[in-house]
Amino acid sequence: MNTIAMRGEFCVEMATAKTGNGNAEMLTEQTTHKGNYGQRPACRMGDAGFALVELLVALAILTLSLGIMFEVMSSVTRTLGRAEELVEAVAVAQSLLDKVGREIPLKLGEVTGKAENELTWRMKIESFGDEADRKAWSIAAYAVSAEVHSRKQLIALRTLRLGPKTKQ
């Protein structure tokens, strides 16, 4: 025998059966909630606390994930900044070496300066080879080095340039 009773918005359906001695014994009870979306099983008292624990665990996982992603993104940003600075310093050093013999005279000595992007540089031109080699060669060889100082790094490039012999 099934009995349906209304308790506020909840509908309780109880199934009972008669035992051999004539007493009714409740076999099952199902509670449903009648709302806007039809009937669905109602929450038990312990389920509400379980949902709160699930929500807290989900928020903790989300917080950890966002923290890790923030750290990765800031690391990528720092690395990108250093890489851009390095590329800029190498470009200045290559440009300086390219100017030797055209805009910068090919003569022994040292020249310093500052690039427009706040990088400082130093160019050094030295004789290449020992004295016997320099006398035997029909042209002069020069070791040219360019050093560019960025905020945290030093970039040094070296090359050889050939030029006319000068009287010393």
Q: What pLDDT, in 10s, does the model give residues 62-95?
A: 999 999 999 999 999 999 988 998 999 999 999 9
Structural domains in the chain plus CATH codes? 74-163 (3.30.1300)
C-alpha to C-alpha distance for 121 and 67, rounded to whole angstroms: 40
Between 32-36, 68-72, 81-85, 146-150, the lowest mean confidence (pLDDT) is in 32-36
C-alpha to C-alpha distance for 150 and 123, rounded to whole angstroms: 15
Q: Answer yes or no: pTM beyond 0.75.
A: no
Nearest to 81 by CA among 132, 166, 142, 152: 152
Indicate if the pLDDT at residue 144 is higher than 90.
Answer: yes
